[in-house]
Structure 1
């Protein structure tokens, strides 16, 4: 069988991989800001909940998190009379997003804390509220500084999507394994998906770099 005959099924899997990456990266970004800011909150419950979330999802395996959401959560739901079964796509997106969010939350927290104390003192002198200080002073300066780390997290998230094949989601890795089992052509198939993942990572890195540059220009305009 010619190697080009593998491209059709692999492209179908690649599209699923792209969707997983986009959805989970966006949702993970939201979690990053939500829990990164939450960790700096003056409210002990919000701060404590954010810390627990960050430590749990940074301190456990993504594979175990995925299996828990897909296999264990429905059983736990049945015990309390709730239907908590997640489709493979939802379980995959949620597991990836929660993992990205935990690491991204520390990026957000660190970038906000790195803003000069003089900026916070100036905001206090202008009688800004905590919310105004966060959204009008801290975040406009911190967000551009977060982008290189977020770019790395996005690329890592793309590579981590291969794990969703273990819950029978027909992504690129799953399609490759199906083809390998049927045709017994491991070298050709895995070489193709190696280059496909590399190509997707390059495109994602370029997109994140463009976003980083755009935010840098926006920050310059605001000054």
Structure 2
């Protein structure tokens, strides 16, 4: 079967896609928590810095961000390898959107929780770690799952800065063979399979989070 001839190249592209997407999701999640917590708990200066980061990366095109990091920054002496550029830009983009998820979840914790924390003589950091984050994390997980899958889909744009990911290899194979239907169908299946695996992983993490410490859930109830 002719379609099997395309599989080795597309599989190598899918591996590159995973190697870019997974670190980007992990770094983006860390940035999301840092920026989101800074917006809520960081004081005026940190809150403004986090707000500027969030609005810049949410308010500009991811494609333009990729081109700016890859083509514009070298003109001022800052150079990144293509794969590093892809990971960095995807992470910054995901972190900006994720920070709003974190901020919204933290802000949704009820006033009664602060009263319970004061009754227990908790400081600000203790309240954040032991009261707010455990409850907010449960609320964040579905949105973070969607963000992870969206980051996977957006990773196809890194093909435009010469990274041989799944989309790049599909386009190369199509240019050589003109077999658009077969190649792009296999590419769709590849992205769907990776999305399905990522979705299952995120749901597993969500279940683990929901089985977390009993105290915050009891306080919430």
Asked whether the two chains share a fold, i.e. TM above 0.5, the reply is yes
Query: Which TM-score applies when normalising by structure 1?
Result: 0.94
Listed as ranges, the gaps of 5+ residues in structure 1 are 79-83
In structure 2, the partner of 1:38 is 38
The answer to whether residue 90 in structure 2 is matched with residue 96 in structure 1 is yes
In structure 1, the partner of 2:183 is 189
The answer to whether residue 67 in structure 2 is matched with residue 73 in structure 1 is no
RMSD after superposition: 1.3
The answer to whether residue 27 in structure 2 is matched with residue 21 in structure 1 is no
Partners of 2:25 and 2:91 within 8 A in 1: yes
Aligned-partner SS, 1:60 = coil
In structure 2, the partner of 1:163 is 157
Listed as ranges, the gaps of 5+ residues in structure 2 are none
The residue correspondences of 1:1-223 to structure 2 (distance < 5 A) are 2-76=2-76, 78=77, 84-220=78-214, 223=218
Partners of 1:115 and 1:141 within 8 A in 2: yes
Give distance in 2, aligned partners of 1:47 and 1:197.
Answer: 37
Partners of 1:21 and 1:161 within 8 A in 2: yes
How far residue 65 of structure 1 moved from its aligned partner, in angstroms, is: 0.7
Give distance in 1, aligned partners of 2:104 and 2:23.
Answer: 24
Partners of 1:66 and 1:91 within 8 A in 2: yes
Give distance in 2, aligned partners of 1:165 and 1:71.
Answer: 14
How far residue 125 of structure 1 moved from its aligned partner, in angstroms, is: 2.5
